[in-house]
Structure 1
Amino acid sequence: MNIINIFDKTIIEFAHNLHVNYKIFDFFFSLATNLGEGLTLIILSAVLIVIKKTRLCGINMAISLFIAVVIGAVILKPLIARERPFTDPIYYEYWIEAGKHLETSFSCPSSHTTASFAALFPIFLYFNKKYSFIALLIALIIGFSRVYLMVHYPSDVVFGAFIGIAVSSAIYIVLNKTNINKLIKKFI
């Protein structure tokens, strides 16, 4: 068994034990996973773009979200073509118990996690770290919800988080360390 399989199995068992011992998490993680839907994150980005004080962060969020989803969902998922954990007989019962959340595309990377980190990591970058860490906590909860609901392996979630953080960090650098920042502030 390789290290990724050990990691995946350990986190999946932890998530399943949460389900077995604390049924309230079924409801909580079903709600949390919906925060990672594209529409929710697009609306949040649009709201921040409309507010002049948060506009640059909103632009970073929107661009990062678009690029990260193209990289993760459009390019990498079909290339990696990893089946979902609920297709594995070992985890099928866990999936049934967690509510049978149906997903139809491939598993890796997690699109919800990719989108969440791409959209929420800029909040951490632009705002006061005393409070903005909450955006990262929300992205982590969304990512974990995907494992809890047995629609992703933990390694899918880690890979999605990496993509989201890398893309949003690159966009942050481009927007804030180049003359594009001045151009955006002048015209928008």
Structure 2
Amino acid sequence: MAIFVTKCRVIVWIAFIVIVYGMSYCWLDLPVALFFKAHGGDFYALAGSVSAVFSPEHWLMLAIVATLAVVVMPRRFQCVRGCVREIAFSIVFAIVIGLLLKYGLARYRPVEFFQHQLYGFHFFSMHHDLNSTPSGHSLAVFAGLTPLVCYWRWTVIPVLLIGVIVMLSRLVHLDHYLSDVWLGAWVGIGSACLIHQYYQSNKVNELR
């Protein structure tokens, strides 16, 4: 599936994401966190299990395996080979961007609000409880699965379903605010789209 990422589109999407993030930060994040704090107890353990299965560390391991698979995979499987390659690079690229945002913004996690009434940004910290945004789980799952949609459109529904489940698990487990998982999802999707366009552009140039 062709994806055309232009400077104008990037600016518009970044503006849209920032506006929605800001609105969620001001009006939705705390109410949603308080709701799951009060009513999410029955699903807390399940959310923790989902988070453990779809952890960024596991996605990084998948990226390593995918890289090795591309090396040994016969060239006749061009479509599958291209998708697997993009999965690997999308995951790594998204996680790098995510870590820069996490450590740079250093947003307080919900636990800091519930225990110390701290809400907002600390800026420039690698402390776990100050690395709430973006959600590493959300960005990793969307970075790892979006390439499937780029190659096979019918996968969009299962990809969205898995992504939403992971996002909900982070909210129920009180590890992130709503805007954190929102931003993480877009970092993952954006990373995958950029990687896809890079390889598709190279393919077009080779054919000229």
Pick aligned residue for 1:121 from 127, 131, 146: 146
The 1-side partners of 2:171 and 2:139 are apart by 14
**Number of the residue aligned with 1:7:** 28
User: How far has the Cα of 1:27 moved from its partner?
Assistant: 3.1
Alignment of 1:135 with 2:150, yes or no, is no
Question: Structure 2 vs 1, CA of residues 134 and 118 (structure 1 numbering), >3 Å: closer, same or farther?
Answer: same
1:24-77 per-position Cα deviation (integer Å, ceiling 9, x unaligned): x2232122112331343245443574664522111111101111111111x111
User: How far has the Cα of 1:125 moved from its partner?
Assistant: 1.8
1:114-167 per-position Cα deviation (integer Å, ceiling 9, x unaligned): 1111111112222241x4421221122112211111111111111111111111
Pick aligned residue for 2:102 from 77, 83, 87: 77
SS at match of 1:141: helix
Q: Is the 8 A contact 2:28 2:178 kept in 1?
A: yes
Give the total of aligned pairs.
167
Moved more, 162-171 or 36-45: 36-45
Q: Is the 8 A contact 1:85 1:150 kept in 2?
A: yes
- Superposition pairs for residues 173-184 of structure 1, below 5 Å? 173-179=197-203
Question: Structure 2 vs 1, CA of residues 126 and 18 (structure 1 numbering), >3 Å: closer, same or farther?
Answer: farther
The 2-side partners of 1:181 and 1:66 are apart by 25
The 1-side partners of 2:167 and 2:206 are apart by 35
Report the aligned-residue RMSD.
2.8
**Number of the residue aligned with 1:186:** none
Q: Is the 8 A contact 2:33 2:110 kept in 1?
A: no
The 2-side partners of 1:58 and 1:44 are apart by 10
Query: How high is the sequence identity, in percent, across the aligned residues?
Result: 28
**Number of the residue aligned with 1:35:** 53
Pick aligned residue for 1:67 from 93, 118, 126: 93
